[in-house]
Amino acid sequence: MRREPAAPTHMHFPAGGVGLKLGLQDAMNLGWKLAAVVQAALITATTRPDPRTRQRSSSWTPSWMS
């Protein structure tokens, strides 16, 4: 059986609240996974060196220092 985020709400009687609880847990699970992906993308984007910046910096360095 393929599990979808809304599936628990259809499997359990709503008066018990189990379906709602499982749906919220699925949403929280998806949320932290998406946050990890976004955070990793931001870290990669900010730590990747920009070649244009490096070229500008190297042009200021005197030739005897390199």
pLDDT band at 42 (very low <50, low <70, confident <90, very high): confident
3-state secondary structure of 37: helix
Task: Tell which residue, 29, 31, 30, 1, has the closest CA to residue 10.
Answer: 1
Per-residue pLDDT at 21? 76
| C-beta separation of 11 from 19 below 8 A | yes
Please state the separation of Cα 42 from the chain's center in Å. Answer: 9
| C-beta separation of 11 from 2 below 8 A | no
| Amino acid making up residue 15 | A
pLDDT band at 14 (very low <50, low <70, confident <90, very high): low
